[in-house]
Structure 1
Amino acid sequence: MSTPILAPRREGLRGVITGAGSGIGRSCLELFLAHGARVDAWDRSPEALADLNDRDDVATRVVDVTDPESVAAAAAEATETWNGIDFVVNCAGGFLVGPLAEVSADAVRKLFDLNVLGTTVVTQALLPALVASKGAVVNVASSVALKATVSNSHYAASKAAVAHLTRCWALELGPQGVRVNSVAPGPTMTAIYQSAGMSAEQESTLLRERAATIPLRRVGEPVETARWIARFALEDDWTTGTVLPIDGGMSL
């Protein structure tokens, strides 16, 4: 019998998606559920998760990923609810734009708490379950983690940290059977920009300017990143330590 060219997605896998209320996290949630996964959906906004409360393949939890105690409690509940965890997708994150001369120390601290500490705390809390299942971690970095930028250097630095944590954790956890990969999306149509305090006009200008520099001359849609996250989490068993650009060629 010949080996199939494409591996089938495995149904019934159990996992956690942070930032599941909107953007790439919500696209991941919808795609994973369509492929038969059972998902613990975490977000710091209860309103963003309210439409999921009546589903039996989703458990919703209001979680601040920068709070280790909140994360530890949610991780224990998720593991008990699904009798194990097969994947973790770290989508929760923040954005910061501004030149060095203008950004505040407090804003930088909050950004790293969310993007770097949050990714660490969530993965750490769910690590025993991931080791038990020989599961997968998928982190969300950014194309600016791979290519220098002028207007949002601290955001780029925080995502570069996520990218390098991915590589380091892949080395550390590989012998235990846990795969760790990351996607590096280019500018994508999500609410992250306005959540960072940008006006709709500022967001539109930023995305238009970025699109003009991208070889494909457009910004991305959340589902275009979610498809690759799903492959890493639900299908692939042989890839680890990868930071995959999904950016229309921006990182070139």
Structure 2
Amino acid sequence: MSSLKDKVVIVTGGSSGIGRATAIALVAQGASVLITGRREAPLQEVRAAYPSIATIVADVSLPADASRTVTAAIEQFGRLDVLVNNAGAGAIMPLAEATADRISEIFAVNVLGPSLLASAALPHLRQTKGAIINISSTFGHKAGAGLSHYAASKAALEHLTRCWALELAPDGIRVNAVAAGPTESGALTGMMGLSEEQAKAVMQAERERIPLGRRGVPDDVAHWISVFADPASEWVTGQVIAIDGGLAVS
């Protein structure tokens, strides 16, 4: 029997890519999962395919939605064991093209949102001695031209992970991060705003740079999120694990 049976998990950005794969993996292991997303239609597609996954329309960059999301999980399931801060924002944005609004948007999703959600979840995670899992990127610790503000936001999230791990250890709450490498999740044409042609060129360049010779798939990352969510990992906290085919060390 899985040690995730009857655990309750919130996964932000759960309607596609890594978030969707994570929700499916956790439900398969017996967890109850609430996923968030900014648009109703993709959430309902997940719900139609996996009726046991609960959904809520919420934007992690909006402060009011943090407490609303946690409240929804408590009202539906009665407890909270794991928060997965997966929703992300980014852009290929050279410094010369940076604007205050775009920088603020990236940090609102990647830093402010996870912080407010973690704060709102704290009283419930203390009761269950639960876990927080932040989803970072290889570029949270590896430099990338044109990715400075996205990378800086992920670097901030990784350091928040380490700081929260120290702060929350006395409460029995574990805090870890999974730094995902280039993954077949649609982020290049979605979050990063590239054309199909530009995305294909970037993907080919990434395959050539990744030591294991391929881009990841969402399940590659979801597996390690599940590992950190599992109470069997109770002696692991403050860690950032790179799941990127070796890109971080190339």
TM-score, length-normalised on structure 1? 0.93
CA distance in 1, matches of 2:46, 2:214: 31
Q: Structure 2: which 5+ residue stretches go unaligned?
A: none
Cα displacement (A) at 1:52 = 4.0
Q: How does 1:54-203 map to 2 (within 5 A)?
A: 57-195=52-190, 196-203=192-199
User: RMSD of aligned C-alpha atoms?
Assistant: 1.5
Which of 240, 243, 250 is matched with 1:243 structurally? Answer: 240
Which of 39, 44, 51 is matched with 1:50 structurally? Answer: 44
Aligned to 2:213: 217
Q: Structure 1: which 5+ residue stretches go unaligned?
A: 1-6
Q: Which runs of 4+ in 1 moved over 4 A?
A: none
Structure 2 residue 7 is the aligned partner of structure 1 residue 10? no
CA distance in 2, matches of 1:81, 1:213: 45
Q: Is the 8 A contact 2:4 2:26 kept in 1?
A: no
Aligned to 1:34: 28
User: Could you tell which deviates more after superposition, 89-98 or 173-182?
Assistant: 89-98
Structure 1 residues 52, 216: CA separation in 2 closer, same or farther (over 3 Å shift)? closer
Residue identity opposite 2:205 in structure 1: E
Aligned to 1:233: 229
CA distance in 2, matches of 1:242, 1:70: 27
Percent identity over paired residues: 41
Cα displacement (A) at 1:51 = 2.7
TM-score, length-normalised on structure 2? 0.94
CA distance in 1, matches of 2:79, 2:105: 31
CA distance in 2, matches of 1:194, 1:237: 37
Structure 2 residue 17 is the aligned partner of structure 1 residue 20? no
CA distance in 1, matches of 2:209, 2:54: 40
3-state DSSP class of the match of 1:141?
strand
3-state DSSP class of the match of 1:61?
strand
CA distance in 2, matches of 1:150, 1:51: 36
Q: Is the 8 A contact 1:215 1:248 kept in 2?
A: yes
Cα displacement (A) at 1:8 = 4.9
CA distance in 2, matches of 1:58, 1:179: 24
